[in-house]
Structure 1
Amino acid sequence: MIDFIWNLLSFVVALGILVFVHEYGHFWVARKNKVKVIRFAVGFGKPIYSWHGKTGTEYVIGLIPLGGYVRMLDGRVDDVAEADKPFSFDQKSVKQRIAIVAAGPMMNFIFAIFALFVMFLMGVPAVKPVIGNVIADSPAQHAGLYANDLIIKVEDQSVGDWEAASYALINHIGNDTVNLTVSRGNFETTATLNTIGWTVSDGQLLSGLGIEPFRPEPTLELGHVVAESAADLGGLKVGDTMLVLDNVPLTTWKQATGIISESAEKELVLLVQRGEERITLTIRPTNKPTAEGFSNGYLGIAPKFENWPKDYVFNHQYGILPAVQKAVVKTYELITMSFQTIGKLITGVIGLDNLSGPISIAQGAGISAQSGIVYFVSFLALISVNLGVVNLLPLPILDGGHLMYFLIELIRGKPVSERVQEIGFRIGAFALLMIMGIAIMNDFGRL
C-alpha cells in the first residue's frame, strides 16, 4: 500500500507538471496573439480548486489528473459578441492558429531541454556498456561477442554508457544487420550481428540479440522487502541474509528464487541471519501467474548486490554551456527516437506489448522519485518528450490533427468542412481509445 501511494503521488506530481507545461504553451501563445482564454485547466472532472485572474480567465485544478485543456473563445462553439470577435480563436489567421496549437508540444520539448540541462549540471550516474553474458546460439554469439566486451560504437555512433547504447540500438531495429565495435583487452574489433527477425517484445531490447549487461552478482542479503508482500507478512526484513530455504542450504540468489518461483501458495521454512542471531521464519509465496498463464511464486524481495568494479560506474557532469549543448542534442535524439519507435510500432517491428499506460508511468515515476532527484528529472524529460511527440501525431483529436487541418486550410485557402472534421474527430477518438486500451491491458499484464 505504501508503494502504491508513493507511485500515485509521484505520478500526480509528474503528470501535473507536464500537463501544466503543455497547456501553458497553448495559453501563453494564445494570449500573445490576443485570443481570449476562458479557462485554463489542469486535470479533468469536478474542480478541486479554481480562481479567476485579472483578465477574466478561470484557472482550474480538476479532480482527475490525466490531462488538461485551454478553453479559448471560439465562434464555432460560442456566441461571440461583436466587440469580442477580434479576440476569438477562429478569427485569427491560419498561421496564428498553427502557432497556438503547436505551442503545447513545443513547450514540452523546451521543458525537456531545461530538465536535461539541470540533470547534466547536477551529474548523472552512468554504467559503462560492458557485456556480462552472451546467450548461447544468439546473434551476439554467432557474431563473436564475448562476456566482458566493452561496446564503444553502434554502427558509427560512439556510446559511453548503456543508455546511449540502447538508444542507438533502437534506431536499428528492422535492419538486417547491426555493427557493434567493442574493446576487448588491448584491441578493438567490430562484430556484425544478424538482426533479421529481431523484434522487441515487452521491452526486451538486448536479450533479443543475446546480450546481457554486466551487473554485480546478487548476494543472499536482502536489499529490499516490498511492503505488505508475502515476505513482509512472513517477517523478513532488509539486511536479513538467507541461509537455508525448504531444507536446502543456499549458496546463490538464483538458487533461492528458483525454489520460491516453484512454491506458489506453499509454506516454506526459511532460516536467516539477522545481526548476531539466526531466526527461523515461515513464508508463503503468493501466486503470480506468468504471461503464459503458468503458476509462479512471488515473495516480494530484492537482493543486495556486490559492489561495482572500479571504473564501471561514473558520472556525466558538465559545465553550464556544455550542459546546454548536451541537453539540446539529447532532446533532439529523444524526439527522433520517439518518432522512429512509433513508426516501428505501426509496422510491427516493435510489438504492441511495449506500449505503456498510466500504471506503468506511475510505477516509473515512483521508482525514479525513490532513486533521487536526478532520476526523477530524467524521467520528466523523457515523458515530456513522449507527450510532445504523441500530441503531434496526425490524429484529429490531438494537436497534430488540428495542425493537419490548419495546414490543409493554408494550402487550399479555405477551412476543411465541419462534416469532415467531425468524422475525423470520431476516428481519432476511436484510435486513441484503442491505443490506450492496449496500453492499459499491457499494464495489467505486467502487474
Structure 2
Amino acid sequence: MLDLLHTLVSFVCVLTVVVFVHEMGHFLVARWNGVKVEVFSIGFGKELFGFNDRRGTRWRVSAIPMGGYVRFFGDSDATSTTQDADAVEEMAEADRAVSFHHKRLGQRFAIVAAGPLANFLFAIIVFAGFFMTFGQSRSLPVVGEVMPGSAAEESGLLPGDLILSIDGTTVEHFQDVQRLVPLSNGEPLDVLVRRKGAERRLTVTPHMVDLDDGLGNTVKVARIGIQVSLSPDDMRRLGPLDALGAAVSQTWSLSADTLTYLGQMISGDRSTDELGGPVRIARFSGKAAERGLADIVMFVALLSVNLGLINLFPIPMLDGGHLMFYTLEALRGRPLTARVQEYGFRVGLALVLALMVFATWNDLSVLIW
C-alpha cells in the first residue's frame, strides 16, 4: 500500500507540474491578447477547492487529476468549442472585446499554440538547469570494447575506432550512439569510423535484444554490442550558453525520436506494446522519485516534451486540431462551418478515447500477465 501511495503521489505531482505549465501558456497569451479567462482548472470533474482572482478567473483543483484546462469567455466547454451561434451573435460589444472567438485569427492561433510551446520552453529551462547543476555526460564515441558475438564484431568494428557518423548523422559523443542505434529498430546502419587516421565505412546490423524497461517489463531494443571507457571527467557542468544550446538540442532530439518511434509503430515495424498510458507514466514517476531528485527532474522535462508534442498532433480535441482548423480558415478566408467543426471534434474525441483505452490496456496487460 505504501508503494502504491508513493507511486500515485509521484504521478499526481509530476502530471500537475506539466499540465500547469501547459495551461499557463494558454492563460498568459490569452490575457496578453485581452481574452477573459473564466476558469483555470487542474484536473477535471467536481471542484475540490479554488478561488477567484481580481479579474474574475476561477482557479480550481478538480477531483480527477488527469489533465486540466482553461475556459475562455465565449467557450461552451473545456475544449474551446463555441457557444450557440445565436448567442455569440447577440453578444454585447463589451463582451465581444474579451471573447476568445471574436479575436483575430493570428491571436487565436497564438493562444492555442502557447500551451505546447510552454511545455517545450519549460523542458529547455529544466534541461539547461540540470546541465549547469548536475552536468552532462560527454564521452568521446571511441569503441572501448567489442562484445563477443555482437553485431559490432560481425561488422568489423574494433576497439579504438572513433565513430564519426551513423546513417549520415554526425556523432559527437557516445551518447549519440546510444540514441541512434535503438532508433534503427534492427535495420542496417551505415557507420563511418576513423581507424589509425583513416576513415572506414562499415555496415552494422544491430541485434534485437531483450532488456528490462525499468519497470520489470521485457522490451526488444536494437544493440550493436560495444562499450566505451567512461571517466568521471566525462560528466561536466556546462556554462549558461552551452547548457542552453544542449537543452535545445536535447528537446529537439526527444521530439524527433518520439515521432520516429510512432512512425515505426504505425508502419508496423515496431511493436505497439511499447505504447504506454497513465498507468505506465505513474509507474515511471514512482521509479524516478525513488532514484532521487535528478531522475525526477529529468522525467518531468521528458514528460513535458511529450505532452507538448502530442498536443500538436492535428487531431480535433487537441491543440493541434484547433491549429489545423485555423490554418484551413486562413487558406479559405473564412472559418469552417459549425457542423464540420462539430463532426471533427466528435471524430477527434473518438480517436483520443480509443488511443487512451489502447494504451491503458497495454499497461494493464503487462501488470496482469
TM range (shorter): 0.7 to 0.9
Q: What SS does the corresponding residue of 1:179 show, helix, strand or coil?
A: strand
Residue of structure 1 equivalent to 2:155: 143
Provide, for residues 276-299 of structure 1, a one-character-per-residue CA deviation record: whole Å limited to 9, x for no partner: xxxxxxxxxxxxxxxxxxxxxxxx
- Could you report, residue by residue, the CA deviation over 1:137-185 in whole angstroms, capped at 9, with x for unpaired residues? x6445323479988664344225344x32322355458x5313456889
The residue aligned with 1:77 is 83
Partner of 1:41: 41
2-structure distance, mates of 1:99, 1:377: 28
Distance 1:320 1:403, change over 3 A: same
State yes or no: 1:118 paired with 2:124. no
- 1:302 matched residue in structure 2: none
How much has 1:397 moved relative to structure 2? Answer: 1.1
Deviation of 1:348 after TM superposition, in Å, equals: 2.1
Normalising to structure 2: TM-score of the pair?
0.83
The secondary structure found in structure 2 opposite 1:396 is coil
Give 2:299's aligned residue: 379
Given the superposition, is the C-alpha separation of residues 379 and 150 from structure 1 closer, same or farther in structure 2, using an over 3 Å criterion? farther
Task: Pick closer, same or farther for the CA change 1:407–1:205 going to 2, 3 Å.
Answer: farther
2:259 corresponds to: 339
Cα contact 2:185–2:221 (8 A) shared by 1: no
Give 2:173's aligned amino acid.
G
Gap change, CA 1:32 and 1:315, over 3 Å in 2: same
Of residues 385-394 and 75-84 in structure 1, the stretch that sits farther from structure 2 once superposed is 75-84
Match of 2:78 in 1: none
Look up the match of 1:157. Answer: 170
2:208·2:223 contact (CA, 8 Å) conserved in 1? no
Structure 1 CA distance for aligned equivalents of residues 209 and 334 of structure 2:
44
1:194 aligns to 2:205 (yes or no): yes
Question: 1:417 and 1:446 mapped to 2: Cα distance?
Answer: 44
Identify which of 332, 339, 343 aligns with 1:412.
332
Residue aligned with 1:39, SS: strand
Match of 1:166 among 164, 169, 178: 178
1:286-365 correspondence to structure 2 within 5 Å? 311=231, 314-365=234-285
- Kept after mapping to 2: 8 A contact 1:105/1:387: yes
Instruction: Report the secondary structure of 1:325's partner residue.
Output: helix
Cα distance in 1 for partners of 2:158, 2:284 equals 32
1:370 match: 290
**Counterpart amino acid of 2:154?**
H
SS in 2 for 1:191: strand
Distance in 1 between residues matched to 2:243 and 2:299, nearest whole Å: 17
Higher helix share: 2
Change (3 A) 1:411 1:186: closer
> Using the alignment, how far apart are the partners of 2:174 and 2:22 within structure 1?
31
- Structure 1 CA distance for aligned equivalents of residues 293 and 4 of structure 2: 19
- Residue 25 of structure 1 corresponds to 25
User: For residues 119 and 43 of structure 2, what CA distance do their matches in structure 1 show?
Assistant: 17
| SS of 1:414 mapped into structure 2 | coil
Higher strand share: 1
Following superposition, the deviation at residue 339 of structure 1 comes to: 2.6
Q: Secondary structure at the match of 2:317?
A: coil
User: What are structure 2's unaligned runs of at least 5 residues?
Assistant: 76-81
1:194 shift after superposition? 3.5
134 and 209 in structure 1: CA distance in 2 versus 1, 3 angstrom threshold:
farther
CA offsets per residue over residues 361-418 of structure 1, 9 Å max, x none?
1121122222222221111111111100100001101000011011000110111112
CA shift, 1:10, in A, is: 1.2
Please tell me whether the aligned partners of residues 353 and 442 of structure 1 are also in contact (alpha carbons under 8 angstroms).
Answer: yes
Q: Is the 8 A contact 1:35 1:87 kept in 2?
A: yes
* Matched position secondary structure for 1:98: helix
In 1: Cα distance, 2:209 partner to 2:225 partner: 16
Pick from 93, 105, 115: which aligns with 1:104? Answer: 115
Measure, in 2, the Cα distance between the counterparts of 1:33 and 1:192.
55
Shift of 1:92: 0.7
Instruction: Say yes or no: does 1:11 pair with 2:11.
Output: yes
For 1:409, give the aligned amino acid.
E
Distance in 2 between the 1:372 and 1:29 partners? 34
Distance verdict in 2 for CA 1:159–1:108, change over 3 Å: same
Whole-Å separation in 2 of the counterparts to 1:189 and 1:199: 27
1:340 to partner: Cα distance: 2.7
RMSD in angstroms over aligned alpha carbons? 3.4
Q: Would you say 1:427 and 2:347 are equivalent positions? A: yes
Percent sequence identity over matched residues?
37
Give the match's secondary structure for 1:31: helix
Matched, 1:444 2:364: yes
Q: Distance in 1 between matches of 2:53 and 2:118?
A: 22
Distance (whole Å) between structure 2 residues aligned to residue 394 and residue 202 of structure 1: 33
Partner amino acid, structure 2, of 1:154: I
Question: 2:79 corresponds to which residue?
Answer: none
Contact 2:182–2:221 (Cα < 8 Å) also in 1: no
Aligned residues: 350
* Residue equivalent to 1:393: 313
State how far apart, in whole Å, the 2-side matches of 1:144 and 1:173 are. Answer: 20
Contact 2:209–2:223 at 8 Å: present in 1 too? no
The answer to whether the 8 A contact 1:135-1:210 is kept is no
Q: How high is the TM-score relative to the length of structure 1?
A: 0.69
Between the aligned partners of 2:117 and 2:172, the Cα distance in structure 1 is 28
Aligned AA for 1:143? S
* Separation (CA, whole Å) in 2 of partners of 1:438 and 1:159: 38
Which amino acid in structure 1 is aligned with residue 20 of structure 2? F
